[in-house]
DNA sequence: GATATTAGTTCACCATACAAATAAATCGGC
DNA sequence: GCCGATTTATTTGTATGGTGAACTAATATC
């Protein structure tokens, strides 16, 4: 009479186990049971299924830490379970100034191939952007023969709308608003996610840091611009605009420095690479940048000359330090995150900003500001963008896996 | 062999149904089934249990809207289910300048008794504050004979730490940091929750507005100070400091007006009642305020004279309008909520702020700012504080109810 | 080897969600 | 006033799937 009943209970528990492993890395069945509050029997049953389906796999026992002579753990040693790298792949793309980079990642999130497309991004029209993204993905796929991606994540600088998959504005493009997700999805036939690059980075930054996977965490990313990602319990914490925040365009000084967004006095206009270099060129004889953004070499040169005492340049970094303190103070006041992480290539010259940053942060100890010990600096490069975006794409794949294979047939029929 | 199995599944679904009714008000079983995605049978079974336990009750059929002659809905009419008002009670307290107000609310959230304790709050020591809170609760309980409260919510102005139940700083007290929750909990023998008054208010503001119960919503409360509550899907959206936000102490103008928090240039220092009145007295011959905060009468007089054209006073409101636009712009940039609601007694003179507010908001259309149509103005008084706090206390009671009565014995034994 | 300890599996039980059938309550039409 | 039609609610049969407990497995200590 009744067709196979479909309940949501097991799907939910499958999803919980997969997410646990996705966010916190490999762990043994006991650990899964403890952390998901499922019984050992249920974990055994579900993980057995997931292993049969090739979603999970047992990992070689971890090094039993024989360093200490005594005190080996007694009892049957646990066997770590991890996401099976071979189960599925995703692709991630980072759109940056004059560089569109594609990555293919395995199911565990490890990047297995990379392909960079160098091009004048500000000269491209919308079709050109899509074309270069596809090239970046195809190039990476060619270097990693095997199955195609099951989902694709696109990370773009500037404002994006993850809900519609559109780029609204980007400093590296001249297209204005354009659809990113739909054309790429049509081309590869898989779901496409679009996010801001700072948001994507934030996911990668907290990846292997358990302390940052609890509570509300804000990740401020300094680079060509100033972006921020908001995370809760290690996962995206979406507002209406994905989980990125335009903290860079909060005004810190009415009528202040010109920002490329059109306003004056934005935090970004004092703290971002483009602003530091622009102002530096007003003060010193620095190399011309043909795109509107300085390269890493330009920025290193600027910092070197500021450190060498070239007149006025140090003051730029000192002001940037205060702007960074302002940004942290605002985030602390508005949101009170458990931790505020600062990362990105903009930290390269942090030593020049640090004195003014520290004193401004101490002065700005307004009610609600998180104390200085809650501000962390995490170095790291642009590879975090694709790593985070791959993670996001993988979570989308996971969501589909929670529904068991036999179900998908039903849901397609019903 | 096996003792009665305990699963979490039904508890979860009980909690979902209760929360649905708590947040969205009475509805029929079909509506519950649709919105929780449970089957009609499951809803029937669970609601039956909950009715037997006295947690829910069937409500009289709603007015069948006979206004239109034709088009009565066909079919068996739905019977609305609601939270049984008699099931339990909670108390809520609002600590304001020179007024500590206690309310007793029934299980549906309706206030059934109120008692205000008038006192010089800034003259009280910690014990005195606790004593007055207890008086406020006892007074309300006396006027509503019946069972005692199952939980108590305390709403305080200024900074509170909901995690520890402490007041950290308040403009209406001189105690500095003090423990609010523990002494009150000890006195009444029930759990006590502490929150900021703006956060509490925000819960009440969105209560009967379905549009505000979806996605991320920020509720800005203008009054003696400037506070904000953050909600997601109609419920609290906690950061590290409850779900309140110290947006009032974000600096909008370096070296600007003195704020009572010790900094200069805070938004609050231009927009809060205390700031408007303080500055007004510098410009015009206004009545003295003996506590450091103006009363409603003082504020009405100030607005009246500004409107009458007394020199300089209108400019204060014009500046406040810009400060309000700044606050909204910052919240929009950092968080991009679906809606930003402005409420509180500070709206009494909004007509004086409106022109500058509108133009400043239009100018501040930075990337990521929510458009003007997403900003709503909701009038309403201080009774929202206790209403919201009662709601929060009731959600705490609900959490206990999700575990069925027979379970509690087990959990106590185990 | 005996014992202890921890990890993982198996299995009987039964709670519980689902689907479908049934009952209940109302309306519109004749 | 009775008959479908329509919508809401309850009942019932069934399969799912989690729990607890017993059992097996693998290692360390003595």
Q: Exposed (0-12), middle (13-18) or buried (19+): which is B37, by Cβ within 10 Å?
A: exposed
Q: Do residues A274 and A225 lie in contact, with contact meaning Cβ atoms separated by under 8 Å? A: yes
Measure B74 CA to D4 C1' (Å).
Answer: 13
- Distance of residue B354 Cα from the nearest chain A Cα, in angstroms: 20
Nearest CB to B250; choose among A169, A266, A330: A330
Contact A336 B253 (CB under 8 A): no
Chain B residues lying within 8 Å of A8, measured CB to CB: 37
Q: Give A363-379 as a DSSP string.
A: HT--TTPPPGGGEEEE-
Q: Which residue does chain B place closest to A160, by CA atoms? A: B368
Fill in the DSSP letter of residue A173.
Answer: -
Q: Which residue does chain A place closest to B9, by CA atoms? A: A9
**SS3 assignment, position B217:** strand
Cα separation, A314 vs A308, whole angstroms: 9
Q: Exposed (0-12), middle (13-18) or buried (19+): which is B59, by Cβ within 10 Å?
A: middle
Q: Do residues B66 and B73 lie in contact, with contact meaning Cβ atoms separated by under 8 Å? A: no
Q: Which residues of B217-234 are buried (b: 16+ CB within 10 A; e: fewer)?
A: bbbbbbbbbbbbbbbbeb
Q: Exposed (0-12), middle (13-18) or buried (19+): which is B412, by Cβ within 10 Å?
A: exposed
Chain B residues lying within 8 Å of A366, measured CB to CB: 246, 249-251, 261-263, 266
Q: For position B362, what pLDDT does the model report?
A: 86
Q: Which residue does chain A place closest to B330, by CA atoms? A: A250
Q: Choose, out of B2, B246, B259, the residue to mutate when testing the contact with A (most A CBs < 10 Å).
A: B246
Neighbours of A57 (CB within 10 A): 18
The label of the residue with tokens 């054309």 reads: A183
Q: Exposed (0-12), middle (13-18) or buried (19+): which is B66, by Cβ within 10 Å?
A: exposed
Q: What is the pLDDT of residues B39-84, one digit of tens each?
A: 999 999 999 999 999 999 999 765 554 444 445 678 888 999 999 9
Query: Can you name the residues that pair with B403 across neighbouring β-strands?
Result: none
Q: Do residues B91 and B104 lie in contact, with contact meaning Cβ atoms separated by under 8 Å? A: yes
Which domains are seen in chain A, by residue range?
Answer: 9-60+78-84 (1.10.10.10), 89-190+384-402 (3.30.420.40), 203-381 (3.30.420.40)
Nearest CB to B254; choose among A247, A253, A337: A253
Question: Please, how many CA atoms are within 13 Å of residue B202, restricted to the half-sphere of its CB?
Answer: 35
Cα separation, B44 vs B64, whole angstroms: 23
Q: For position B303, what pLDDT does the model report?
A: 97
Phi/psi of residue A130, nearest 5 degrees: -60, -45
Question: Which nucleotide comes closest to A42 if you measure CA to C1'?
Answer: D18
Q: For position A204, what pLDDT does the model report?
A: 96
Q: Give A58-87 as a DSSP string.
A: EPPPPP----SSS-PPPSSPP-EEEE-TTS
Contacts of residue B79, defined as CB under 8 A and 6 or more positions apart, other chains included, come to B28, B29, B58, B59, B61
Those residues of chain B that have pLDDT short of 50 are: 1-5, 65-70, 407-414
For B130-274, strand residue ranges (E) read 152-156, 159-161, 166-169, 178-179, 192-196, 216-222, 226-232, 235-236, 244-245
- Distance of residue A57 Cα from the nearest chain B Cα, in angstroms: 28
Q: Do residues A268 and A226 lie in contact, with contact meaning Cβ atoms separated by under 8 Å? A: yes
Q: Choose, out of A196, A217, A231, A335, the residue to mutate when testing the contact with B (most B CBs < 10 Å).
A: A335
Chain A residues lying within 8 Å of B215, measured CB to CB: 240
Structure tokens at A17: 């186990």
Question: Which nucleotide comes closest to B79 if you measure CA to C1'?
Answer: D8
Bases in strand C with any atom closer than 7 Å to a protein CB: 4-21, 23-28
Fill in the DSSP letter of residue B286.
Answer: -
Q: Do residues A223 and A273 lie in contact, with contact meaning Cβ atoms separated by under 8 Å? A: yes
Cα separation, B148 vs B129, whole angstroms: 21
- Distance of residue A215 Cα from the nearest chain B Cα, in angstroms: 7
Cα separation, B189 vs B156, whole angstroms: 21
Measure B72 CA to D4 C1' (Å).
Answer: 17
Helices A350-363 and A296-307 meet at what angle, rounded to 10? 70
Give me the sheet containing A149-156, strands edge to edge. Answer: A111-118, A99-105, A89-96, A149-156, A192-196
Q: Which residues of A284-297 are buried (b: 16+ CB within 10 A; e: fewer)?
A: bebeeeeeebbbee
Contacts of residue B331, defined as CB under 8 A and 6 or more positions apart, other chains included, come to A334, B218, B220, B228, B245, B247, B337, B340
Q: Do residues A214 and A233 lie in contact, with contact meaning Cβ atoms separated by under 8 Å? A: yes
Q: Which residues of A162-189 are buried (b: 16+ CB within 10 A; e: fewer)?
A: beebbbbbbbbbebeebbbbebbbebbe
- Closest C-alpha among B177, B278, B179, B180 to residue B225: B278
Our measurement of the distance from residue A164's CA atom to the centroid of its chain's CA atoms, rounded to an integer in Å, reads 19
C-alpha dist (Å) from residue A60 to A27, A81, B212, B279: 11, 9, 51, 71
Cα separation, B264 vs A202, whole angstroms: 32
Those residues of chain A that have pLDDT short of 70 are: 1-7, 61-72, 240, 291, 365-370, 402-414
Q: What is the pLDDT of residues B173-216, one digit of tens each?
A: 999 899 999 999 999 999 999 999 999 999 999 998 999 999 89
Q: For position A408, what pLDDT does the model report?
A: 38
Q: Do residues B181 and B161 lie in contact, with contact meaning Cβ atoms separated by under 8 Å? A: no
Q: For position B4, what pLDDT does the model report?
A: 37
Pairing of strands B216-222, B339-343: parallel
Query: Can you name the residues that pair with B160 across neighbouring β-strands?
Result: B167
Q: For position A403, what pLDDT does the model report?
A: 66
Q: For position A5, what pLDDT does the model report?
A: 44
Share of chain B above pLDDT 70, in %: 90
Q: For position A364, what pLDDT does the model report?
A: 76
Q: Do residues A339 and A374 lie in contact, with contact meaning Cβ atoms separated by under 8 Å? A: yes
Cα separation, A91 vs A93, whole angstroms: 7
- Distance of residue B86 Cα from the nearest chain A Cα, in angstroms: 33
Chain A, 51 to 110: residues with Cβ < 8 Å from chain B are: none
Q: What is the pLDDT of residues A313-358, one digit of tens each?
A: 999 999 999 999 999 999 998 988 999 999 999 999 999 999 999 9
**SS3 assignment, position B225:** coil
Q: Give B102-144 as a DSSP string.
A: EEEE-TTS-EEEEEEEE--GGG--HHHHHHHHHHHHHHHHHHS
Contacts of residue A366, defined as CB under 8 A and 6 or more positions apart, other chains included, come to A329, A332, A333, B246, B249, B250, B251, B261, B262, B263, B266
Q: Do residues A209 and A379 lie in contact, with contact meaning Cβ atoms separated by under 8 Å? A: no
- Closest C-alpha among B126, B177, B155 to residue B169: B177
Query: Can you name the residues that pair with A377 across neighbouring β-strands?
Result: A342
Chain B residues lying within 8 Å of A236, measured CB to CB: none
Cα separation, A337 vs A333, whole angstroms: 9
């Amino acid at each position: 009479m009744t067709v196979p009943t479909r309940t949501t209970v097991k799907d939910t528990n499958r999803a919980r186990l997969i997410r646990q492993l996705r966010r916190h890395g490999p762990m043994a069945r006991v650990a899964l049971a403890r952390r998901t509050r499922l019984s050992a029997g249920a974990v055994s049953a579900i993980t057995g299924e997931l292993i049969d389906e090739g979603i999970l796999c047992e990992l070689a026992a971890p090094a039993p830490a024989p360093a200490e002579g005594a005190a080996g753990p007694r009892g049957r040693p646990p066997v770590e379970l991890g996401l099976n790298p071979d189960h599925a792949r995703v692709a991630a793309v980072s759109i940056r100034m004059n560089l569109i980079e594609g990555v293919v990642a395995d199911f565990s999130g490890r990047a297995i191939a990379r392909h960079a497309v160098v091009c004048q991004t500000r000269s491209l029209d919308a079709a050109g952007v899509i074309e270069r993204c596809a090239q970046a993905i195809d190039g990476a796929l060619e270097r990693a023969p095997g199955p195609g991606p099951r989902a694709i994540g696109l990370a773009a600088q500037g404002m994006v709308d993850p809900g519609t998959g559109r780029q609204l504005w980007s400093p590296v493009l001249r297209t204005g608003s354009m659809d990113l997700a739909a054309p790429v999805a049509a081309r590869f036939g898989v779901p496409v996610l679009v996010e801001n690059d700072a948001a994507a980075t934030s996911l990668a930054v907290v990846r292997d840091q358990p302390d940052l996977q609890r509570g509300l965490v804000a990740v401020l990313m300094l680079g060509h611009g100033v972006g921020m990602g908001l995370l809760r319990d290690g996962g995206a914490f979406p507002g209406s605009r994905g989980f990125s925040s335009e903290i860079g365009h909060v005004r810190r000084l009415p009528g202040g420095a010109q920002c490329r967004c059109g306003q004056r006095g934005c935090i970004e206009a004092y703290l971002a690479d483009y602003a530091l270099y622009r102002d530096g060129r007003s003060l010193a004889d620095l190399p011309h940048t043909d795109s509107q953004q300085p390269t890493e070499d330009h920025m290193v040169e600027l910092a070197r000359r500021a450190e060498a005492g070239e007149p006025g340049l140090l003051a730029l970094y000192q002001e940037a330090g205060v702007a960074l303190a302002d940004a942290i103070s605002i985030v602390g006041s508005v949101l009170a995150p458990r931790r505020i992480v600062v990362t990105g290539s903009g930290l390269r010259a942090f030593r020049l900003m640090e004195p003014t940053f520290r004193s401004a942060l101490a002065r700005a100890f307004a009610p609600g500001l998180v104390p200085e010990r809650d501000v962390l600096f995490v170095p790291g490069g642009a590879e975090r963008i694709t790593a985070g975006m791959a993670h996001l794409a993988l979570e989308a794949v996971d969501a589909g896996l929670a529904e068991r294979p036999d179900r998908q047939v039903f849901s397609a029929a019903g």
